[in-house]
Amino acid sequence: MLFELNQLILRAGHQSLIKDVSWSAYKRILAELGDNRSYRIAYSQGVLEIINGTDY
C-alpha cells in the first residue's frame, strides 16, 4: 500500500502510527516534510509516529 503524506489529515494534538515503514521511507518522509513543519516525526523499529501540533 502506497500513500502520500498530503493524504493524511491529523487534527492538532493527534497522533498517527504507521507500521512496516523502512528506514529509507522514513528518510524520504523527513525530506518531503522539510525542516519547517508542524509535525513531530519519530521512528522506531519500523513504526513511524506522526503527531500534529505545536505542544509536543
Q: How much is the pLDDT for 55?
A: 52
**Predicted confidence band at 34 (pLDDT cuts at 50, 70, 90)?**
confident
pLDDT at 7 over 50: yes
Residues 6+ apart with CB under 8 A from 32: 5
Amino acid at 22: S
pTM: 0.70
**Least confident range of 14-23, 24-33, 47-56:** 47-56
Going by the DSSP 8-state scheme, the letter that residue 15 receives in this structure is: E
**Predicted confidence band at 10 (pLDDT cuts at 50, 70, 90)?**
low
